[in-house]
């Protein structure tokens, strides 16, 4: 399959918007990521404090009203607030808006896993506590997974192809593949990304069935992938949105290229044990590199999935070794999310955002809280590392068995 868009050109990232536990806005996020700051902390949301989950990455001080009009905010859940705000930041960054003459030229795709849990719980309480007639008209549009794509499309007047992927954690990378192929079929640009807000009480109860969820009480020890103390992952909320664009369309309107989408591939290895993800993830990496026409030696940094479960960490280390060969032992590997948690499908979108910023700055950010790495990987711990970066590999595996790999190049990383 060709890696190029409709005009035979490349697909590029021209805008980026981040709402994360360690920073609302792209610059605060990057600053915290680069410093390796850990913001994991006790779960403080109303109704959540007595539950067995003790540590998570909460987005504090988020006020969407400066970015999104009230009429959208009242009819949507927090996960859509994150998505609309991040999309607005990305669109501002890309200086992109709808051309009324060509309304079908811009599409939207988001990934989601937990839906509008807080809004939905409120309406369930109305229904069961009071009666059917107390369920409000916005429940039908706020709770379900398609809410963010629909509202971003409406707010921006984007009538191009719209998509919603509920592909577990890997969905945050799959949106890049989806966007690139949509552009390949003739769309100029796609607003793409993922956000999650899984920290409402009932949503937390639903997650307790995941054996991978960390129930540790001490924030600095709750999420320690690749170490002997790995005890699962700490969940988080937030996410990132991007403007993904056909390079020639971006050039025509004078947009700045922040990164190049090189390649993407995904596989499935099920929920029968993390050992199986080794082969699936290795195949996804090879597929993404092939699509990007890259050799393993070209990979300058790996943003790891870093689940924090010993069997899964081992499988990931082996998958990297299988796919990258000799390069695996020397390539810098990082997992900034150990500092702010794993926001389900938005986790990999945040990794992609960190990768774009790392490529721009020539800096591999560290893996907060992680010190003694027990695998044969060069995991960057402690301080950020300045390196010349042209190609980043971003990995994700989902709790329902999907594995995805994404290759991003710096804006001058022409191949």
Partner 1 sequence: MTRRVAVTGLGVVAPGGIGVPAFWDLLTAGRTATRGITLFDPAGFRSRIAAECDFDPAAAGLDAGTTRRADRYVQFALAAAREAVRGSGLDVAAQDPWRIGVCLGSAVGGTTRLEHDYVKVSARGSRWDVTAPEAEPHLHRAFQPSALASEVAEDIGAGGPVQTISTGCTSGLDAVGHAFHTVKEGRADIVVAGAADSPISPITVACFDAIKATSTRNDDPAHASRPFDASRDGFVLGEGAAVLLLEEMEHARARGADIICELRGFATFGNAYHMTGLTKEGREMSEAIDHALAEARIDRTGVDYVNAHGSGTKQNDRHETAAVKRSLGEHARKVPMSSIKSMVGHSLGAIGAIELAACALALRNDVVPPTANYETPDPDCDLDYVPRTAREATLRSVLSVGSGFGGFQSAVVLAHPERSTS
Site for partner 1 in 268-307 (CB under 8 A): 268-272, 280, 283
What minimum distance in Å lies between the beta carbon of 247 and partner 1? 20
Q: Are 112 and 167 in contact (CB under 8 A)?
A: no
Q: Print the binding letters for residues 234-263 with partner 1: x by CB under 8 A, - otherwise.
A: ------------------------------
Cα→Cα distances 257→11, 133, 227, 414, Å: 10, 51, 37, 12
Give the burial class of 67: count Cβ atoms within 10 A of its Cβ; 0-12 exposed, 13-18 middle, 19 or more buried.
buried
What minimum distance in Å lies between the beta carbon of 396 and partner 1? 12
By CB under 8 A, residue 65 contacts partner 1 = no
- One of 1, 74, 295, 386 touching partner 1 (CB under 8 A): 1
By CB under 8 A, residue 209 contacts partner 1 = yes
Instruction: Give every CB contact of residue 99 below 8 A, 6+ residues apart in sequence.
Output: 105
By CB under 8 A, residue 176 contacts partner 1 = no
By CB under 8 A, residue 116 contacts partner 1 = no
What minimum distance in Å lies between the beta carbon of 241 and partner 1? 16
By CB under 8 A, residue 123 contacts partner 1 = yes
What minimum distance in Å lies between the beta carbon of 12 and partner 1? 20
Collapsing DSSP to helix, strand or coil, 8 comes out as coil
Residue closest to 43 by CA, chosen among 53, 33, 29: 53
Beta bridge partners of 326: none
Collapsing DSSP to helix, strand or coil, 393 comes out as strand
By CB under 8 A, residue 210 contacts partner 1 = yes
End-to-end CA distance of the chain: 16
CB of 58 or CB of 300, closer to partner 1:
58
* Positions 307 through 336 that interact with partner 1 (CB under 8 A): none
Q: Which stretch binds partner 1 (CB under 8 A): 34-42, 197-205, 307-315, 353-361?
A: 197-205
- CA angle, 192 then 265 then 6, to 5°: 60
Helices 117-129 and 78-94, axial angle in degrees (round to 10) = 150
CB of 171 or CB of 239, closer to partner 1:
171
- CA–CA separation, 173 and 349 (whole Å): 6
Q: Which stretch binds partner 1 (CB under 8 A): 56-64, 96-104, 237-245, 384-392?
A: 96-104
How many C-beta atoms surround the C-beta of residue 229 within 10 A?
18
- One of 15, 21, 201, 413 touching partner 1 (CB under 8 A): 201
CB of 147 or CB of 302, closer to partner 1:
147
Q: Which stretch binds partner 1 (CB under 8 A): 56-64, 110-118, 224-232, 293-301?
A: 110-118
Instruction: Give every CB contact of residue 53 below 8 A, 6+ residues apart in sequence.
Output: 43, 204, 207, 208, 213, 215, 235
- CA angle, 100 then 102 then 105, to 5°: 125
Residue 301 half-sphere exposure toward CB, CA atoms < 13 A: 33
* Positions 135 through 164 that interact with partner 1 (CB under 8 A): 135-137, 139-141, 143-147, 149-151, 153-154, 156-164
What minimum distance in Å lies between the beta carbon of 405 and partner 1? 12
- CA–CA separation, 194 and 18 (whole Å): 10
By CB under 8 A, residue 62 contacts partner 1 = no
What minimum distance in Å lies between the beta carbon of 140 and partner 1? 4
- CA–CA separation, 273 and 98 (whole Å): 46
**# residues near partner 1 by CB under 8 A:** 87
**């605060």: which residue's tokens?**
28
- CA–CA separation, 341 and 326 (whole Å): 30
What minimum distance in Å lies between the beta carbon of 299 and partner 1? 22
Helices 147-156 and 78-94, axial angle in degrees (round to 10) = 40
* Positions 372 through 411 that interact with partner 1 (CB under 8 A): 398-402
CB of 159 or CB of 220, closer to partner 1:
159
CB of 58 or CB of 229, closer to partner 1:
58
* Positions 345 through 374 that interact with partner 1 (CB under 8 A): none
- One of 70, 100, 133, 254 touching partner 1 (CB under 8 A): 133
**């044969």: which residue's tokens?**
376
What minimum distance in Å lies between the beta carbon of 401 and partner 1? 5
């Amino acid at each position: 399959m060709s890696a190029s868009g409709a005009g035979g050109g490349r697909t590029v990232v021209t805008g980026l918007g981040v709402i994360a536990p360690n920073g609302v806005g792209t610059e605060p996020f990057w600053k915290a990521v680069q410093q390796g700051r850990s913001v994991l902390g006790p779960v403080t949301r109303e109704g959540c404090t007595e539950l067995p989950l003790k540590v998570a990455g909460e987005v504090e001080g988020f006020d969407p009203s400066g970015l999104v009009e009230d009429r959208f905010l009242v009819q949507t859940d927090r996960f859509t607030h994150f998505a609309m705000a991040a999309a607005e930041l990305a669109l501002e960054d890309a200086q992109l808006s709808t051309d009324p003459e060509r309304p079908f030229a811009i599409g939207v795709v988001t990934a989601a896993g937990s839906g509008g849990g807080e809004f939905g719980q409120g309406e369930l309480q109305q229904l069961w506590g009071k009666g059917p007639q107390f369920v409000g008209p916005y429940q039908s549009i706020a709770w379900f997974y398609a809410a963010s794509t629909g509202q971003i499309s409406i707010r921006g007047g984007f009538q191009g192809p719209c998509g919603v992927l509920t592909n577990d954690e890997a969905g945050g990378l799959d949106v890049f593949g989806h966007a690139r192929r949509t552009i390949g079929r003739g769309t100029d640009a796609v607003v793409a990304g993922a956000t999650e807000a899984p920290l409402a009480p009932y949503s937390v109860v639903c997650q307790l069935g995941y054996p991978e969820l960390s129930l540790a009480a001490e924030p600095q020890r709750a999420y320690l992938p690749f170490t002997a103390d790995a005890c699962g992952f700490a969940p988080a909320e937030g996410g990132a949105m991007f403007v993904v664009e056909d390079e020639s369309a971006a050039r025509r309107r004078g947009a700045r290229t922040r990164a190049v989408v090189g390649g993407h591939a995904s596989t499935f290895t099920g929920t029968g044990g993390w050992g199986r993800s080794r082969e699936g993830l290795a195949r996804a990496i090879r597929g993404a590199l092939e699509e990007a026409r890259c050799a393993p030696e070209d990979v300058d940094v790996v943003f790891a999935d870093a689940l924090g479960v010993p069997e899964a960490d081992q499988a990931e280390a082996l998958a990297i070794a299988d796919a990258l060969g000799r390069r695996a032992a020397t390539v810098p590997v990082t997992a900034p999310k150990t500092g702010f948690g794993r926001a389900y499908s938005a986790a990999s979108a945040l990794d992609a955002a960190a990768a774009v910023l790392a490529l721009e700055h020539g800096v591999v950010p560290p893996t907060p809280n992680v010190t003694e790495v027990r695998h044969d990987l060069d995991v960057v711990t402690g301080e950020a590392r300045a390196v010349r970066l042209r190609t980043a590999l971003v990995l994700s595996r989902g709790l329902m068995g999907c594995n995805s790999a994404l290759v991003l190049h710096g804006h001058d990383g022409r191949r």
